[in-house]
Structure 1
Amino acid sequence: MTHLLNPPLSNDSHYILCYFVNNTSQVQIARISNIPGWFFERVVFPGQRLMFKAPPNACLEIYTGEMVSSLLCDRIDCRQLQVLSLTSVGGCC
């Protein structure tokens, strides 16, 4: 399932469309926390696809863990997740 989630954007033209897939068997938390005054956090289930808009300098943090704790397992520059064509997203449209 693909979700398109957009936080409130002041000027949409300054954001990039990004795509992330949870290819693990664990629930993950996707979070962007390096942009002052801007918050993004989503639960991403195994096999789930996530589309979102973010500032180009945003960094997506991926947390994986058990119920009581989570562990930062990856940091991905959102420019690496940028969607250049919707046909490259694989089943999006």
Structure 2
Amino acid sequence: MTQTLNSLPLNYSPGILCIYSNHSNQVIIVRISNIPEWYFERVVFPGEQLLFEALPEAYLEIYRGDQNKAILAEKFPCSKLQTS
């Protein structure tokens, strides 16, 4: 199943279309927090794909649960997740 979510606010330059696939067997949280005045966070279930728009300089952070807290497991530049 692919989720399509909201795009960047209008005051940002044109973004890039990105895709992330959760190949794990865990529910994860993805987050972009390095863009000023914009915060992006979603839950992605096992086997799901997340289609989203981001700025090329953004980083997608992947958080996995560990006994009632989320731990940063991976971090990807959104420019590497760009799809055509």
TM-score, normalising length from structure 1? 0.83
1:12 CA drift (Å) = 7.2
2:73 paired with 1:81: no
Q: Which runs of 4+ in 1 moved over 6 A?
A: none
User: Conserved in 1, the CA contact under 8 Å of 2:8 and 2:53?
Assistant: no
Gaps of 5+ in 1: 85-93
Which residue number in structure 2 is paired with residue 16 of structure 1? 16
Identity among equivalent positions (%) equals 50
By relative contact order (CA 8 Å, sep 6+), the higher-ranking structure is 2
In structure 1, how many angstroms separate the alpha carbons of the residues matched to 2:44 and 2:72?
14
| Aligned-residue CA RMSD (Å) | 1.6
Which residue does the alignment assign to 1:32?
32
TM superposition score normalised by structure 2: 0.91
> Higher strand fraction: Structure 1 or Structure 2?
2
> Which runs of 5 or more structure 2 residues have no equivalent in the other structure?
none
